Amino acid sequence: MVWELQSTGVIGGKVKFKIVLADKNNPDHICAIQRLWDNNLRFIGEGRFEWLYQNNPAGDTITCLAVVEKTGEIIGTASAMCRNFHFDGKTFKAGIAIDFAIDVEYRVFGPALLLQRTLVEQAWGQGLDFMLGFPNLASQGIVRRVGYERIGNSMRFSRLIRTRDKLTAVLRERGLPTLLAGPASVVLDAGLYLKTRLSGSQGTARTIASEKEFGDYQWRAFQYGNIATHTFHGEYGEDFIRWRYLQCPYKDYQLFSLFDEQQPVAFLVFSFSDNGLVLVDDFRYLEEKWLAPLFHHFWRKMHRNVHVAINVGLVVGENTEKLMTDAGFIARPSERWGGILSNPDISMDWRKILNEGGWYIADGEIDL
């Protein structure tokens, strides 16, 4: 594909720039994108471009580049990862806005806004039904200008496994002896363990740590059951789970699954951080009754080791927030939020769709 001029603009009344559609097979484009990632984004793992931009089973990632007309220097990039979503048995093709990066000397409203607007135009041109965006504080104004409608708040959910570190921080903050944290945490930890042991334990739990193990279970039946649910949610078929988590080149994910007899009814995807946190990137269940048992089983599994807490990041509606707190989590708001923008050629009643059931969008959709 040759560089195709999409839009033009001026930075600060002096520097003319244009927005072009990136060519995934052009080495100059790939190198420029990698440089923009390295210089402007907090963490991008090795092997990301080929995995995320070229091997996604839902379709190739759409990428736009901001280019200085006089020099040809590529100064910004914005992308949309293709993702299938379902609601009430229907399938919709979405783009998730990712990897928005502009060199610091060009971070004015012009290139940023035009990049995002052109990306949306490309998404509609390639037949996507809607776009999802999860802007940080710095880019929220741009996302609003493009037309995204806010659909939910970003929340951090935490469930303690061991209390000593948390107690130590609280005692230090209040000027009290931190030595008290030791004996107090023994009592509190025992209470947490007893409470979880007495909680519902429906189903049988198994951890899946490899593609070989993953292939041994009946995930296709889970996929069909998931599509039929009357809740807005992403695709969780075998191909997506295998690609997104088990083939990710820079993060070691594992699947923790809950079965009713031999049928998978819920799962979560997790990884470990260096500070004792267990990070749940995504989860899905066929019925709400399986959510609490999923996390109760998982808590017991993590309790056997030295982990201190389970953390989950979600953009949620009110119903899911309640389900998570009922499952033992404490909710804290974050500065991010979720936004949606519909293809003008497609009629979608988002108020109706998002009022149906406990919808949520997990970190696995947002922070790839």
Asked if CATH classification 3.40.630.30 holds for the domain at 5-147, the reply, yes or no, is yes
Neighbouring CB atoms inside 10 A of 196's CB total 18
Q: What pLDDT score was predicted for residue 66?
A: 94
Contacts of 222-227 with CB under 8 Å at 24 or more apart are 222/263, 222/264, 222/265, 222/267, 222/286, 225/286, 226/86, 226/284, 226/286, 227/86, 227/89, 227/91
What percent of the chain has pLDDT above 70? 93
Q: What pLDDT score was predicted for residue 223?
A: 80
Is the predicted pLDDT of residue 150 greater than 70, yes or no?
Answer: yes
User: How far, rounded to the nearest angstrom, does the alpha carbon of residue 333 sit from its chain's CA centroid?
Assistant: 16
Q: What pLDDT score was predicted for residue 4?
A: 42
Least confident span in 5-9, 145-149, 238-242, 247-251? 5-9
Is the predicted pLDDT of residue 5 greater than 80, yes or no?
Answer: no
Same topology, domains 5-147 and 154-337+347-366? Answer is yes
Q: Which residue has the higher pLDDT, 89 or 68?
A: 68
What letter represents residue 91's amino acid? T
Q: What pLDDT score was predicted for residue 356?
A: 65
Is the predicted pLDDT of residue 34 greater than 90, yes or no?
Answer: yes
Contacts of 90 (CB under 8 A, 6+ apart): none
List, for residues 311-345, the tens digit of each pLDDT value. Answer: 999 998 878 889 999 999 999 998 889 999 999 99
Is the predicted pLDDT of residue 3 greater than 50, yes or no?
Answer: no
CATH topology of domain 154-337+347-366: Aminopeptidase (3.40.630)
Look over the chain and give the mean of its residue pLDDT values, rounded to a whole number.
87
Q: What pLDDT score was predicted for residue 2?
A: 34
Is the predicted pLDDT of residue 181 greater than 70, yes or no?
Answer: yes
Neighbouring CB atoms inside 10 A of 347's CB total 7
Domain boundaries, the chain: 5-147, 154-337+347-366
Q: What letters, b where the CB count within 10 A reaches 16 and e where it falls short, cover 297-314?
A: bbbbbbbeeebbbbbbbb
Nearest to 71 by CA among 25, 15, 20, 8: 15
